[in-house]
Amino acid sequence: MLIQVGDHEILLSDSTRLVDNMLAAGGQATLQVWPEMWHVFQFFHQANAGERAGNQGHRCLLTTTGVSLAVFQQMPDKQSRHIR
């Protein structure tokens, strides 16, 4: 599991607790704390750190699952449909 969080993130303590619990349970986890970054900074590619973090997330996905983001980008977007 890769957890990326900015040091200006409201969920920073939650992220560190999640990684600590995962490791204590015998799982694998990596915590990356990015300086001067905010919530969901990975989506802001204008911030150089956002693009770098997104690339690292993609590499983690490839390494742990063998699946590329390109596979997900080709899938139909079922999340955009509203369930009533």
Per-residue pLDDT, 78: 43
Tens digit of each residue's pLDDT (9 = 90 or more) over 25-80: 999 999 999 888 888 877 776 566 766 777 777 777 778 777 665 554 554 444 43
- pLDDT higher than threshold 90 for residue 23: yes
- pLDDT higher than threshold 90 for residue 20: yes
Domain parsing of the chain, residue ranges: 2-73
Tokens, residue 48: 């150089």
Tokens, residue 19: 């990684």
Per-residue pLDDT, 67: 64
Tokens, residue 56: 């690292």
**3 state SS for 6-66:** ECCCCCHHHHHHHHHHHHHCCCCCEEEEECCCCCCHHHCCCCHHHHHHHHHHHHHHHHHHC
Which residue reads 């449909």 in tokens?
A: 81
